[in-house]
Amino acid sequence: MARKKIIAGNWKMNMTPSEALKLVEDLKPLVNNDAVDVVYCVPAIDIVPVVEAVKGTNVQIGAENFYIEDKGAFTGEISAPMLVDAGVKYIIIGHSERRDIFGESDILINKKVKKAFASGLSPILCCGESLELRESGAYTEWIKRQIKWDLEGVTADQVKNLVIAYEPIWAIGTGKTATADQAQEACKLIRDYIAELYDAPTAEAVRIQYGGSMNAGNAAELLSKPDIDGGLIGGASLKVDFAQIVNA
């Protein structure tokens, strides 16, 4: 069965609640495309109003972060049951900004993937290499190691419902997109590795996105590649241009 494409915005630390509502309203008539899954991953404070604002549309809401405990003394954190109760469907895990700025390890990321599945959230698991690793050629081993550690103990049935985002760090927010061939090569590498870790049907089912300076101009070419099943979009998801990626 053909994999359904998934176009997700990662708003990062942008959009006050009122700005968020305006963007959602502006996008509403433009992203009405049932052929793809459309997701807005939004800051915690925007979740409640945005879930309300997209009711009755094809858009689903994701969160950008959570903690692995259900509740308790974890000042500043938000839990999976809180997100689920608020109507959140997807959760970004392992973004390079959380790994690099907030020190999240593969051990924590693995716990988050398992907790997300156990809670009924669909993880969007991010991986990807630095410029140094890209230039040295060691990026293939690096990506495989991230996938192996982050999916330790995760079942094949869960991986079939997983979204993996390949996001080369050197392409994030830099305007320097990976070429469609580079992105395809890495996404295929990930799919082949899932086949090795699990089996062919699991590799066929898992959806793999590209992320990194994806925009209205380059989306169609990236999305035409056989192993690229969607995009995780930062900067370009904050504008109505995002609709052009959804419809690319």
Q: Among the residues of the chain, which ranges form H helices?
A: 17-27, 44-53, 80-86, 96-100, 106-119, 131-136, 139-150, 156-160, 180-197, 200-205, 219-223, 242-246
Q: Which of 47, 51, 190, 214 binds ligand 13P (CB under 6 A)?
A: 214
19 is catalytic: no
* Nearest by Cα to 98 from 150, 59, 141, 56: 150
Residue 167 sits in the site that holds ligand 13P (CB under 6 A): yes
Residue 234 sits in the site that holds ligand 13P (CB under 6 A): yes
Q: Which of 15, 93, 172, 219 binds ligand 13P (CB under 6 A)?
A: 172
Residue 10 sits in the site that holds ligand 13P (CB under 6 A): yes
Residue 213 sits in the site that holds ligand 13P (CB under 6 A): yes
Rounded to a whole number of angstroms, the distance between the first and last alpha carbons of the chain is 21
- Write down the least CB distance from residue 167 to ligand 13P, Å: 5
Q: Which helix (H) or strand (E) holds 4?
A: none
Structure tokens at 101: 């700025």
167 is catalytic: yes
- Write down the least CB distance from residue 72 to ligand 13P, Å: 29
Catalytic pick from 97, 104, 129, 167?
167
In the complex, which residues of this chain contact ligand 13P (CB under 6 A)? 10, 95, 167, 172-173, 211-214, 232-236
